[in-house]
Amino acid sequence: MTLSDDAARTYELDRRHVFHSWSAQAHLTPTVLTAAEGCYVWDGEGNRLLDFSSMMVNTNIGHQHPKVVAAIQAQAATMCTVAPHFANDARSEAARLISERTPGELDTIFFTNGGADAVEHAVRMARLHTGRYKVLTRYRSYHGGTETAVNLTGDPRRWPNDHGNAGVVHFFGPFLYRSEFHAHDEAQETERALSHLARTIEMEGPATIAAIVLESVPGTAGIMVPTPEYLRGVRELCDRYGIVFIADEVMSGFGRTGKWFAIQHFDVVPDLLTFAKGVNSGYVPLGGVAISPAIAASFAQRPYPGGLTYSGHPLAAAAAVATITAMHEEGIVDNAFDIGARVLGPGLRDLAARHPSIGEVRGIGVFWAIELVRDRVTREPLAPYGGTSPAMTELVAACRAGGVLPFVNFNRLHVVPPCVISEAEAKEGLAILDQALNVADAHTVD
Ligand code: PLP
């Protein structure tokens, strides 16, 4: 098949005028997408693809949910925009619905345009609240593309942007499959990762540290679900030293793990929680920070020195209200948990039993990673850290040819469909992966 005339024009104009993220522009061949519905998208050749990526892990409610589309249309007909210093019904209602779902008493919401600026503002709040400057964050993490967020990031996207962002210190979190701590089980990994963090704090000077920023479940870096003891241990260290605990739930929030927020699996309450993506499935850009009473009180008498023209934009806020309401009414968060426990988890473990290229599968809800290896014994990855390989490129092509759009990072393929995915759709995707993985198996030493 070839591109339709419209799709060909889209492609040609894109290549002539559009500058893409994170890419060498001369080597791009972006797929044209022309339509989407539920868990499917259509490309410019008319192929239907099962979206196992949720775009950038953001369409938690699926594509084109009619109630969210209608809410955006209704808001557009009433009031398309409003400056942040006015009060607005869509924004007020979105803040109420979000604060009712956040853990503990994180009841005050600062709205941003997306995830990176949510992280920027959370760090700014923590620094001003504590009067300290340093921020501790994990290797194997992603926190966004803006200056502070990319420097907090623990993956190679930081390297070319690292001009010595003062005060950012990285540490290793728990990741048993590639343990930095020579651990043999989860309990040992947790204990050693916590003592490594405690030592890092002591060596950096506890009284200089404003915040620890962590993804509750690291997403792009590999979906390493921590033990409850790990996050409780981090909470304890923060309490001991007066450090602000920032949970980055930009990717893991709003149903992705089968709870509203991933940290709710572990019974831990952070001081600040960042969100974006699933809050309105990215139908209109939106992010934000949920703020504890103590930190909100810091800015009761002195002004908070930060803001955005579009903070709490009404189209984005109306989309959030409709998204959260529909997710609640339609049991979408429970569906994510159920599909993970009953279909994706067992299905992926079954694939791991049959495909030598799978080193490990791990995840929860609709948030799963397949760790691909050349050699199960040495765990040599199928692509190097920070890079890709012909094997991974062929695997992605085989997924596409079979009808699945995957999310790929280095040597991992992530299974991160919308939270609304049905059992039949999940099984359809698993069957396509089963076929495609034969391509990866051909690159193993087994
Ligand atoms: N934090 C996490 C955990 C993310 O996964 C992302 C994006 O993938 C971000 C922050 C940045 O969000 P945005 O791309 O909306 O700026």
Question: Helix/strand/coil (H, E, C) string of 297-354?
Answer: HHCCCCCCCCCCCCCCCHHHHHHHHHHHHHHHHCCHHHHHHHHHHHHHHHHHHHHHHH
In a mutational test of the pocket of ligand 1, which residue from 21, 251, 254, 289 has the highest number of ligand atoms less than 8 Å from its CB? 251
Whole-model pTM? 0.98
Q: Which atom in ligand 1 lies closest to the alpha carbon of residue 114?
A: 15
Residue 435's identity, in one-letter code, is Q
* Rounded to 5°, angle at Cα 343 from 337 and 349: 110
**Ligand 1, atom 1: closest residue by C-alpha:** 143
Dist. CA 120 → ligand 1 center (Å) = 11
Domains delineated in the chain = 31-64+331-441 (3.90.1150.10), 66-329 (3.40.640.10)
H/E element, 397:
helix 390-402
Dist. CA 282 → ligand 1 center (Å) = 12
Dist. CA 52 → ligand 1 center (Å) = 18
**Ligand 1, atom 7: closest residue by C-alpha:** 144
In a mutational test of the pocket of ligand 1, which residue from 123, 142, 216, 248 has the highest number of ligand atoms less than 8 Å from its CB? 142
Q: Which atom in ligand 1 lies closest to the alpha carbon of residue 251?
A: 5
Q: Which atom in ligand 1 lies closest to the alpha carbon of residue 117?
A: 16
**pLDDT given at position 163:** 80
Tell me whether strands 209-215 and 134-138 are parallel, antiparallel or unpaired.
parallel
For 251, phi then psi, to 5°, come to: -95, -35
Sequence-ordered alpha helix ranges (H) in 39-135? 54-57, 66-78, 89-101, 115-130
Give per-residue pLDDT as tens, 132-142. Answer: 999 999 999 99
Cβ neighbours of residue 419 under 8 Å, at least 6 residues apart?
Answer: 60, 61, 62, 255, 256, 278, 327, 332, 333, 335, 336, 365, 366
Q: Which of 230, 270, 268 is nearest to 247 (CA)?
A: 270
CB 375 within 8 A of CB 265: no
Pocket residues for ligand 1 (CB within 6 Å)? 56, 114-116, 119, 142-144, 215, 219-220, 248, 250-251, 276, 287
Dist. CA 444 → ligand 1 center (Å) = 33
Dist. CA 144 → ligand 1 center (Å) = 5
Dist. CA 64 → ligand 1 center (Å) = 22
**pLDDT given at position 201:** 98
**pLDDT given at position 446:** 66
Residue by residue, DSSP assigns 245-269 as EEEE-TTTTTTTTSSSSGGGGTT--
Dist. CA 219 → ligand 1 center (Å) = 9
In a mutational test of the pocket of ligand 1, which residue from 143, 215, 263, 283 has the highest number of ligand atoms less than 8 Å from its CB? 143
Dist. CA 213 → ligand 1 center (Å) = 13
Q: Which atom in ligand 1 lies closest to the alpha carbon of residue 119?
A: 10
Q: Which atom in ligand 1 lies closest to the alpha carbon of residue 276?
A: 15
Dist. CA 296 → ligand 1 center (Å) = 23
H/E element, 134:
strand 134-138
User: ipTM greater than 0.90, yes or no?
Assistant: yes
Q: Which atom in ligand 1 lies closest to the alpha carbon of residue 56?
A: 8
* Three-state secondary-structure class, residue 385: coil
Helices (H) then strands (E): counts for the chain: 14, 16
Q: Which atom in ligand 1 lies closest to the alpha carbon of residue 113?
A: 15
Which residues does the chain have with pLDDT short of 50?
none
